[in-house]
Amino acid sequence: MEEYQQSKLNRVKRGQNRATYDVDKINTILDAGFLCYVGYIYDGKPITIPMAYARREDKIYIHGSTGNRMLLSILESEKTSITVMHLDGLVLARSGLHHSVNYRSVTLFGNLKKLEKDTDKKDVLKWIVNQMVPNQWESLRPMYQKELDRTLVVEFTIETASAKVRDVGVADEPEDYELDVWAGIVPIKQVAEYPIADKGKPENMKIPKHILDYYEANK
């Protein structure tokens, strides 16, 4: 079992029983989503920006316009972290204090590099689109050079990371189990609804198999 090394930066302080540094478990959480929360410091304050991402090996890729204030700032300062969270349920306990949520979350620290080569940038943009909907890139109009030229692609290499997972039932005070208070879990999930065709040709086209597959897997 390969693990990220624990340091002051990534060691989980609260709820250590829910923490893991296992590389495979962290990658599984990352691969279950496509939206991350990127932190950066602007004017002395931490700001969090939601962004699409893709993961390959120990690298997270994000992108934006070549003028993207946040990407340019974190490339220069390397002061950033990336958080991904999936909400899995509401934990409704018998007391307020033990209310919680079931979730899988990851926090990543690492170093950043701007990708310069067109072939590398194109690969990453394909991965980002396909992390959202598998096989989607292959159905699209190929990128124009001018589109590639105005896109900034950033490679974030994970140096250290931690995950927290809560996936158990209610944990109440021992004496509270006798109370006549309902307690339990309300599972929460993110689902896809049936695809809505754009105006024009798509209205008369069959929805591609890979998009229907995505819908079936996520409905």
Stretch that binds a copy of itself, among 22-30, 53-61, 94-102, 112-120 (CB under 8 A): 94-102
Residue 186 touches a copy of itself, criterion: CB under 8 A: yes
Backbone φ and ψ for 188, nearest 5 degrees, come out as -125, 135
Does residue 99 touch a copy of itself according to CB under 8 A? yes
> And the tokens for 92?
């409704």
57 binds a copy of itself (CB under 8 A): no
**Tokens found for residue 89:** 């349920």
- From CA 92, how far away is CA 183, in angstroms rounded? 5
For residue 192, state whether it binds a copy of itself (rule: CB under 8 A). yes
Please count the CA atoms within 13 angstroms of the CA of 194 that sit on its side-chain side: 2
Pairwise CA distance, residues 162 & 64, whole Å: 26
Per CB under 8 A, 207 contacts a copy of itself: yes
**How is residue 75 written in tokens?**
């490339």
The two three-digit tokens of residue 13, written as one number:
């302080």
Report if residue 6 touches a copy of itself, rule: CB under 8 A: no
Closest to a copy of itself by CB, 2 vs 180, is 180
When binding is defined by CB under 8 A, the residue of 72, 92, 135, 155 that contacts a copy of itself is 92
Q: Which one, 1 or 117, has the nearer CB to a copy of itself?
A: 117
Residue 61, interface with a copy of itself (CB under 8 A)? no
